[in-house]
């Protein structure tokens, strides 16, 4: 195979493999690679675990594996970023997950988690040695962990000699099933009760397309996102938060409590309303129902639930605008999304707010908002090509003055999903 067409992290991992693993290990397969992209989310933040709609796209930043199948069931990994080895066994999973997890560095727990979920699904895995690389910013809101998990799933498929396959037709696992498997792997590995947004975006990516995903039904369809005059600019605050140590899980609990209280209020006021029994998550509640019954909630839960229900509607608004080719109006909705995240859902931070405020004052920026779980990470900006340099200059000048930090800027494009192949 001509490896010159491979993404940079893939070629980096390939080059590192003979340096990282040069002992007398017995290999039983060819050299192979697997990769999966990070993502940006245009709109629909914190709606995924509330059964709502999201509108992400995969980007041209990936996590990658390069390695070979072993003759046993041991997995050995070398992380280029962390410059550490990790080792575990796929024998006895998922029962041995907790015991093995405790001995691993944090990054390797996600890879072990994917193996445990595949084993739980009845798939027999083989061991392998691999180098792990990537250029998805870690903790920056572009889903580096999901990219790692989805890449790991494809690595297991490849290095287990296709004991299972991933694809749409006649495959062992569909992409959306892989997304759900990787979502659960992240939950058990990290303790964060994440939704399926990140993993689904990585699994379903297509060039020049965004994905409208219903996180309840898991139905999805693609929307064009290839305006040649618009850039997707991701700006990293440089602030990192461990979501398990933040209020992420607390927000999820608040949403569940708000759902319960509104469902009870509807049933009490409308005992003949059979549909009220079907309210399981916040996004089952219509804006009209919320307006009628929100006073039954404590003020804090009103704001949490109000944000989620309004954000779900914003996704639908952006979809209609993209279908109409009106990306300028779609951009305006991003500003509204950030205001809700900042004031009602309260998952922003000073640095994120500063970046959005700076972007708001640059002509040619159509919209900006914080992206990801919050408390740090990145903003997403829809920017006319001719305004990208002005935005970069404004951030370089104003952001350090306002926060004492420096931000990094990436220009991304909607890219393809994951893959794997043997190269030698």
Annotated catalytic residues are 198
CB 370 within 8 A of CB 338: yes
Pairing verdict, β 128-134 and 74-79: parallel
Bond into 310 cis (ω within 30):
no
Q: Which residue pairs from 41-44 have beta carbons closer than 8 angstroms and sit at least 24 positions apart in sequence?
A: 41/197, 41/201, 41/371, 41/372, 41/380, 42/210, 42/225, 42/318, 42/330, 42/334, 42/380, 43/311, 43/314, 43/315, 43/318, 43/333, 43/334, 43/337, 43/369, 44/197, 44/311, 44/312, 44/314, 44/315
Length of the chain equals 424
Angle between helices 106-120 and 144-159 (to 10 degrees): 50
- Answer for the pair 182, 153: CB distance below 8 angstroms, yes or no: yes
Beta strands in 215-308 (DSSP E): 220-224, 230-236
Q: How far apart are CA 395 and CA 355, in angstroms?
A: 7
| CA angle, 101 then 102 then 105, to 5° | 75
How many Cα atoms within 13 Å fall on the side-chain side of residue 118? Answer: 29
Q: Which residue in the block uniquely carries the two structure tokens 């690679």?
A: 33
| Alpha-carbon distances of 264 from 40, 273, 323, 381, rounded to whole Å | 36, 11, 38, 40
Encoded tokens for 71: 């003759």
- Alpha-carbon Rg of the chain, whole angstroms? 22
């Amino acid at each position: 195979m001509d490896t010159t067409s491979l993404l940079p992290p893939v070629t980096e991992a390939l080059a590192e493999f003979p340096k990282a693993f040069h002992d007398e290990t017995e290999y039983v397969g060819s050299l192979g690679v697997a990769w999966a992209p990070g993502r940006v989310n245009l709109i629909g933040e914190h709606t995924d675990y509330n059964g709502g709609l999201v509108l992400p796209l995969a980007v041209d930043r990936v996590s990658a594996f390069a390695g070979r199948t072993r003759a046993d069931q041991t997995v050995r990994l070398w992380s280029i970023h962390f410059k550490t080895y990790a080792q575990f066994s796929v024998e006895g999973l998922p029962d041995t997950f907790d015991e093995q997890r405790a001995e691993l560095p944090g990054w390797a727990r996600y890879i072990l988690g994917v193996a445990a979920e595949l084993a739980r699904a009845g798939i027999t895995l083989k061991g392998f040695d691999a180098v792990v690389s990537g250029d998805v910013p870690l903790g920056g809101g572009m889903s580096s962990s999901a990219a790692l998990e989805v890449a790991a799933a494809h690595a297991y498929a490849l290095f287990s000699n296709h004991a299972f396959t991933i694809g749409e037709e006649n495959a062992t696992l569909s992409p959306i099933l892989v997304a759900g498997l990787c979502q659960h792997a992240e939950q058990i590995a990290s303790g964060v009760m994440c939704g399926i947004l990140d993993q689904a975006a990585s699994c379903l990516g297509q060039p020049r397309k965004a994905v409208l995903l219903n996180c309840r039904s898991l139905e999805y369809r693609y929307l064009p996102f290839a305006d040649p005059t618009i850039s997707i600019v991701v700006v990293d605050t440089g602030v990192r938060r461990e979501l398990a140590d933040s209020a992420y899980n607390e927000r999820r609990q608040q949403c569940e409590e708000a759902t319960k209280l509104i469902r009870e209020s509807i049933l009490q006021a409308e005992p003949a309303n059979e549909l009220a029994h079907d309210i399981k998550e916040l996004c089952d509640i219509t804006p009209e129902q919320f307006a009628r019954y929100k006073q039954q909630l404590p003020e804090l839960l009103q704001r949490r639930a109000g944000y989620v229900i309004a954000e779900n509607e914003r996704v639908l608004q952006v979809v209609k605008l993209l279908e109409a080719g009106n990306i300028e109006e779609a951009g305006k909705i991003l500003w509204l999304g950030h205001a809700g995240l900042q004031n009602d859902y309260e998952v922003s931070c000073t640095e994120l707010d500063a970046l959005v405020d700076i972007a708001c004052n640059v002509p040619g920026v159509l919209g900006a908002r914080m992206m990801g779980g919050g408390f740090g990470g990145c903003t997403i900006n829809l920017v006319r090509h001719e305004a990208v340099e002005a935005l970069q200059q404004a951030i370089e000048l104003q952001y350090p003055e306002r926060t004492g930090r420096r931000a990094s800027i990436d220009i991304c494009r909607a890219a393809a999903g994951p893959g794997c192949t043997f190269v030698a």
